[in-house]
């Protein structure tokens, strides 16, 4: 690259950064004047009813905040099944990456004894992570399918939370698709042989779209629904069709057609025939192809709007019969991860016989909660039920069984001196035991006789 080219490249980068920063500032101002999301409206209704001051109300608010603060970073497509207790308010949150031109589909199912609303909120993570998350989408409808098409690519946080005092078993599926349908019948991305931004006419202009090579006469299809706002003939594009896409606020351009099949003002749906592949205009010396462009405040690269995301959904092998139950680790040094999979960040390493409550399952991993309330994922094959004791212990005088592995926890059972209790697990100086009454709880290991 020449010195002038480097300067132009640096200037372009600076302008792009300035534009991005300006966009962030504009959006932050807009957020101050936006309508409240359904989640925020519901939270305000809890406050008006005085429920925010109750323990359950506070727990519901904290569960939503905690989920957003520590979302599980997952790769898409993703599927998880689990449960939320009505008496113990909970929420799930996932950190995902959505590329520009991609569509996120969220499928939510909730099996509950009562009709229950589920709040689905998508937040964009700002470039400066010290800034607050920006709401992109919010719904409080019954479980179903939600489709979101953010114009900007980046990292997002998706939170799912049922209303207060509602729970049940849930299933959530997240997947990405290209926002636009492929515009040449019977062809795919392999047909794209000239990309956006390459120099044309000796550098006097750049390619403002992609070229899709195909046999002459192949149908050209509408990549999105909209209204045909121009059918014409130009020296550059030859026989052309413009379609206004109102959903994305974009104009979609189809050029070098052999012939057109629509007229000005026609309403078209995805997959409708607009014309046929040719090489009219300045493409008359090249093989037949479709020039495809997308314009929104100028030309944008259409490639990611057409390119279907890769990846397959992991087969679930985790035993969901364990949902809501306690399991224990069969080995020492097993890793609790922030996300299901070997690439998930390691939160901590846990010892053998650590009890974990199963909250959900994804692929071959359990979503679990540790005895001290930390959520994460462990490989299901490295766990076993806690039903059979690992040994028995005899309590000392004044022995107690606690609700949690904490010296200040609520006492749920008092033991007599010499009373034998089966030990089901252990964690951080405490034993997970089954009291003679059948209740399960925690006993300080120092209470053993």
DSSP β-bridge partners for residue 240: 232
DSSP characters for 213-274? E--TTPEEE-SS-EEEEEEEEETTTEEEEEEEETTTTEEEEEEEEEEE---TT-EE-TT-EE
- Residue 144 has a pLDDT of 87
- Residue 150 has a pLDDT of 87
Report CA-CA distances (Å) from 393 to 151, 386, 413, 420.
61, 16, 16, 6
CA–CA dist 367, 376 (Å, integer): 6
Return the minimum-mean-pLDDT range out of 91-100, 161-170, 322-331, 439-448. Answer: 439-448
Element (H, E) at 6: helix 3-33
Residue 199 has pLDDT above 80, yes or no: no
CA–CA dist 88, 63 (Å, integer): 9
The answer to whether the CB of 338 falls within 8 A of the CB of 328 is no
CA–CA dist 75, 310 (Å, integer): 11
Give CA angle at 417 (415, 422), nearest 5°: 60
- Residue 33 has a pLDDT of 55
Residues of the chain above pLDDT 70, percent? 90
- Residue 97 has a pLDDT of 96
Residue 142 has pLDDT above 80, yes or no: no
- Residue 243 has a pLDDT of 98
The answer to whether the CB of 419 falls within 8 A of the CB of 395 is yes
Beta pairing class for 400-402 and 273-277? unpaired
- Residue 3 has a pLDDT of 42
At 185, phi and psi to the nearest 5?
-60, 130
CA–CA dist 72, 199 (Å, integer): 42
Q: Provide mean pLDDT across the span 105-120.
A: 88
- Residue 396 has a pLDDT of 72
Residue 156 has pLDDT above 90, yes or no: yes
The model's pTM: 0.84
Q: Provide mean pLDDT across the span 64-81.
A: 95
pLDDT digits (tens, 9 = 90+) for 293-316: 999 989 999 999 999 999 899 899
DSSP β-bridge partners for residue 343: none
Return the minimum-mean-pLDDT range out of 376-380, 395-399, 410-414, 418-422. Answer: 395-399
Residue 5 has pLDDT above 50, yes or no: no
Residues of the chain above pLDDT 90, percent? 72
- Residue 112 has a pLDDT of 84
DSSP β-bridge partners for residue 402: 411, 442
Q: Provide mean pLDDT across the span 349-357.
A: 97
For the chain, give the mean pLDDT. Answer: 88
CA–CA dist 53, 47 (Å, integer): 8
DSSP β-bridge partners for residue 264: none
pLDDT digits (tens, 9 = 90+) for 27-57: 554 556 578 999 999 999 999 999 988 998 9
């Amino acid at each position: 690259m020449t010195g002038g080219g480097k300067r132009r490249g640096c200037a372009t980068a600076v302008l792009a950064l300035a534009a991005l920063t300006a966009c962030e500032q504009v959006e932050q101002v807009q957020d101050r004047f936006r309508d409240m999301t359904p989640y925020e409206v519901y939270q305000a209704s809890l406050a008006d009813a005085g429920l925010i001051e109750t323990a359950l109300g506070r727990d519901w608010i904290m569960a939503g905040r905690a989920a957003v603060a520590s979302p599980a970073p997952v790769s898409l497509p993703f599927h998880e099944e689990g449960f939320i207790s009505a008496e113990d308010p909970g929420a799930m949150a996932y950190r995902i990456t959505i590329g520009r031109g991609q569509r996120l589909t969220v499928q939510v199912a909730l099996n509950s004894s009562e009709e229950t609303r589920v709040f689905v909120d998508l937040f964009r993570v700002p470039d400066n992570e010290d800034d607050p998350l920006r709401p992109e989408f919010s719904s409080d409808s019954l479980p179903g399918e939600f489709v979101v098409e953010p114009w900007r690519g980046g990292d997002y946080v998706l939170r799912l939370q049922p209303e207060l005092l509602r729970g049940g078993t849930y299933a959530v599926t997240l997947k990405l698709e290209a926002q636009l349908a492929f515009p040449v019948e019977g062809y795919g991305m392999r047909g794209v042989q000239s990309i956006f931004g390459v120099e044309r006419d000796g550098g006097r202009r750049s390619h403002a779209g992609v070229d899709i090579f195909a046999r002459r006469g192949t149908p050209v299809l509408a990549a999105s629904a909209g209204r045909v706002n121009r059918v014409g003939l130009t020296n550059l594009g030859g026989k052309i069709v413009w379609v206004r896409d109102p959903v994305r606020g974009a104009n979609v351009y189809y050029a070098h057609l052999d012939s057109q099949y629509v007229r000005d003002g026609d309403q078209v749906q995805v997959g409708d025939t607009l014309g046929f592949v040719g090489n009219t205009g300045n493409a008359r010396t090249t093989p037949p192809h479709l020039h495809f462009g997308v314009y929104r405040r100028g030309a944008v690269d259409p490639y990611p709007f057409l390119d279907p995301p890769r990846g397959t959904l992991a087969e679930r092998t985790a035993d969901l019969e364990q949902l809501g139950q306690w399991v224990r680790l069969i080995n020492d040094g097993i890793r609790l991860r922030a996300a299901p999979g070997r690439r998930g960040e390691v939160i901590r390493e846990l010892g053998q016989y650590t009890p974990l409550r199963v909250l959900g399952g994804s692929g071959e991993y359990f979503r679990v909660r540790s005895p001290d309330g930390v959520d994460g994922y462990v490989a299901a094959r490295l766990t076993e039920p806690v039903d059979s004791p690992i040994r028995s212990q005899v309590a000392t005088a004044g022995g107690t069984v606690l609700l949690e592995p904490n010296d200040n926890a609520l006492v749920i059972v008092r033991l007599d001196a010499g009373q034998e209790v089966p030990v089901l697990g252990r964690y951080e100086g405490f034993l997970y035991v089954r009291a003679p009454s059948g209740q399960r709880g925690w006993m300080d290991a120092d209470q053993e006789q």
